[in-house]
Amino acid sequence: MTTMKAVRIHTYGGPDVLAYEDAPRPTAGDGEVLIRVYATTVNPFDCAVRAGYMDGYFHYNLPLVLGTDVSGVIEAVGAGVTAFSPGDAVYARAGVFRDGANAEYVVAFASEVAAKPPSLDHLHAAALPHATLTAWQALIEMAQLSAGQTVLIHGAAGGVGHIAVQLAHWRGAKVIGTASTNLDVLRELKVEEAIDYTKTPFESVARDVDVVLDTVGGDVQARSYAVLKPGGLLLSTIQPPSEETAQAHGVRAQYVNASPPVGKTLTEVAGLVASGHIKPMVSAVLPLSETRRAHEMIEGKHTRGKIVLQVAA
């Protein structure tokens, strides 16, 4: 058996269940590609998988390799794959419901993969897929955000938020963003109204907005219905909003899921990187062997942009 280094869990639990160890190197089946991973990330989703919160949805087999973001190079292609060849630089969201990308190699469905944006190194390309596909699903697919609209983005400096701001600006929308420790990121992103949520209730600034993107949940979500204009749309990545409360406010509310197939969207995203509309922010780079520290940082809930794991140079 050929092995590789990987970060796996053998049981659900806290960051201490993460094991950096030897694991079987996967092979590409029909319609799949084997990617040599150069960079990967940790998302809050990975922390939720590690803790066992996603087991009811995806029925994982343990041990499981975590991680959904990858930037790397095609090592081999399975039967029926014509879009990619060994040596191609690619990026993808892979391994959502099976072994993932916190490893030296990952298998992805060819439909999940796109050519890596040429202007980005692997560290920055890996920062994009999971967060960008989520922000895209929310603001482009669900809200169909358009020029002249106003969007309130909670957690605008985080992984999803900082890309959502850039997608909104690309669409010509005005952005009101919230942050605290990372307020300067909002200024860098040229958010029109930056709110320090520890000092200013967002309701005192945001009124009659077209769309709210909630990446925080709880009380922040509960207070968000009231700032929408009649017929406005509340989208949450973290907690299904209440249809009853939405109706009582005369607005709409939906839960956001980044949905496959995603390679086609990542190709569009690469175009936006090339035109300068999207620039991923990487605030920390750690070696794969320090994935546990990345989980602890993410669970601190004050991530700036993305935390990336370097696997190969």
Ligand X SMILES: NC(=O)c1ccc[n+]([C@@H]2O[C@H](COP(=O)([O-])OP(=O)(O)OC[C@H]3O[C@@H](n4cnc5c(N)ncnc54)[C@H](OP(=O)(O)O)[C@@H]3O)[C@@H](O)[C@H]2O)c1
- Positions touching ligand X (CB under 6 A) are 43-45, 130-131, 134, 154-155, 157-161, 178-182, 197, 215-216, 220, 237-238, 256-258, 298, 301-304
Minimum separation from the CB atom of position 76 to ligand X (A): 29
Measured CA to CA, the distance from residue 68 to residue 96 in angstroms comes to 6
Minimum separation from the CB atom of position 199 to ligand X (A): 12
Minimum separation from the CB atom of position 177 to ligand X (A): 9
Measured CA to CA, the distance from residue 101 to residue 117 in angstroms comes to 19
Cβ closer to ligand X: 128 or 220? 220
Cβ closer to ligand X: 161 or 241? 161
Cβ closer to ligand X: 129 or 232? 129
Minimum separation from the CB atom of position 180 to ligand X (A): 4
Minimum separation from the CB atom of position 77 to ligand X (A): 28
Number of residues written out for the chain: 313
Measured CA to CA, the distance from residue 300 to residue 164 in angstroms comes to 21
Question: Would you tell me the crossing angle of helices 129-136 and 263-274 to the nearest 10 degrees?
Answer: 100
Q: Which residue is nearest to ligand X (CB)?
A: 158
Minimum separation from the CB atom of position 281 to ligand X (A): 10
Cβ closer to ligand X: 149 or 221? 221
DSSP string, 163-212: HHHHHHHHTT-EEEEEESTTHHHHHHTT-SEEEETTTS-GGGT--SEEEE
Residue carrying the six token digits 């035109």: 275
Measured CA to CA, the distance from residue 210 to residue 139 in angstroms comes to 11
Cβ closer to ligand X: 84 or 109? 109
Minimum separation from the CB atom of position 15 to ligand X (A): 15
Minimum separation from the CB atom of position 24 to ligand X (A): 28
Question: Would you tell me the crossing angle of helices 263-274 and 159-170 to the nearest 10 degrees?
Answer: 70
Q: The dihedral of CA 196, 216, 280, 121: what is its sign?
A: positive
Measured CA to CA, the distance from residue 127 to residue 12 in angstroms comes to 25
Cβ closer to ligand X: 119 or 180? 180
Cβ closer to ligand X: 149 or 303? 303
Tokens (6 digits) for 136: 């895209």
Measured CA to CA, the distance from residue 104 to residue 102 in angstroms comes to 7
Give buried/exposed letters for 273-311 (b at 16+ CB in 10 A, else e): beeeebbbbbbebbebebbbbbbebbeeeebbbbbbbbb
Cβ closer to ligand X: 3 or 264? 264
